[in-house]
Amino acid sequence: MEVHQLATSLTYGDAISDEMLEIQSVLRAAGFKSEIFTRFCDPKLAGLAHDFREYWQYSSRDNVAIFHFSIGSPVSRLFFRLPDKKIMIYHNITPHEYFLDCHRILARECYKGRLEIKLFVDKVDLVLGDSEFNRQELEAVGYRRTGVLPILINFEKFKTPPDPVARKIYNNGRKTILFVGRLIPNKKYEDIIKVYALYKRYFEPRSQLILAGDYRGLERYLAGLLELVDRLKLQDVYFTGHIPFAELRACYEAADVFLSLSEHEGFGVPIVEAFIQDVPVVAFKAGAVAETMNGGGVLLERKDFLSIAALIDLIIRDDKLRSRILAGQRKALEKYRQEKIASLLLNYIDQVIKG
């Protein structure tokens, strides 16, 4: 029996790509032959994926094909023509309006992707959202057989040592606010910067803000953020760009608080990563954020920048409050244990095989 995965890309450091590799490991351990097929493959991951057009050589009515849908692409059109039993995992598509001012190609692809998702309602055996928020989107457009499969995260990789150079740079005695995520407008980096400006001015001058995320292709948005930093006369703001995992580990290690003010999230992998690494999380309630946090962290119902800055100061200074938050986050993590998600995945595959 063969269970293969298809996606638009396999990219180093990308959450969906990491999950694909984890799923492949689970499938192979369960005895399935399993390969990955993509349109684009990061050179750093060369040899781990085949060109998606080669899938016809593997395709069979006896196979299960899993497609990771996160943006419109030719891969989706191939997937829906396959004779294989089909599972689609929907990772959500950011509404195109967020990109109109900074990346017209991405705006177009997101717009097309949200149209495309409606075209294949009767062409898959099972469709999974990586959150209930995503599952409800699928149900709303007409998918009948749906489920939830949280993103499969390997907790063990967070035990690897941080990069020593990055550790020395960021562990500098300053109170540290961290956000991790691709530099795109829906993440509302500008709001994080405004909160940090208030925190630094009124609560802790010896502080720093680390914004860890890939900004390639989003240079126009980055330029606006740099202009904001300059206008606010801020110092100690670090845009890391795309960094190796060991450097990201150093960022989490340095962090006193993880702050997310994103306005659209289909899941929120960095929130779970912060939970794993015992960083208190403060996050705005948008999309699947509350679901991802699973009762852990501190959930914001509204954006009052000064109040958020004061809350961050309280969490950093109040050891008892911080301990309660971390205890809640550790409890929330039970939902994402690798063995639980792996078992759920294999159960869904078994359902599709049995029809």
Give the pTM. 0.94
Helices 319-332 and 269-276, axial angle in degrees (round to 10)? 120
Average pLDDT, the chain: 95
* pLDDT at residue 286 in the model: 96
Q: Is the per-residue pLDDT at 186 higher than 90?
A: yes
3-149 matches 158-335 in fold: yes
End-to-end alpha-carbon separation of the chain, Å? 15
Say what the alpha-carbon torsion angle 153, 158, 163, 166 is, to the nearest 10 degrees: 80
Longest dimension (CA), the chain: 64
Q: Is the per-residue pLDDT at 259 higher than 80?
A: yes
CATH number for 3-149 (one of 2.60.120.10, 3.40.50.2000, 3.40.630.30, 3.90.1200.10): it is 3.40.50.2000
* pLDDT at residue 257 in the model: 98
Place of tokens 């986050």: 329
Weakest-pLDDT range from 48-57, 114-123, 159-168, 196-205: 114-123
User: How far is residue 16's CA from residue 159's CA, in Å, rounded to a whole number?
Assistant: 21
Q: What are 9-21's pLDDT values in tens digits? A: 999 888 899 999 9
The rounded percent of the chain whose pLDDT value lies above 70 is: 100
In sequence order, the β-bridge partners of residue 211 are: 179, 239
Say what the alpha-carbon torsion angle 326, 327, 328, 329 is, to the nearest 10 degrees: 50
What residues contact residue 69 under an 8 Å CB cut-off, 6+ apart?
76, 88, 89, 90, 91, 93, 113, 117
Q: What are 94-145's pLDDT values in tens digits? A: 889 988 888 888 898 888 888 888 888 888 999 999 999 999 999 999 999 9
Q: Is the dihedral of CA 12, 248, 20, 268 positive or negative?
A: negative
CATH class of 158-335: alpha beta
pLDDT band at 208 (very low <50, low <70, confident <90, very high): very high
Q: What are 213-223's pLDDT values in tens digits? A: 999 989 999 99
* Domain parsing of the chain, residue ranges: 3-149, 158-335
Question: Is 152 within 8 Å of 19 (Cβ atoms)?
Answer: yes
pLDDT band at 33 (very low <50, low <70, confident <90, very high): very high
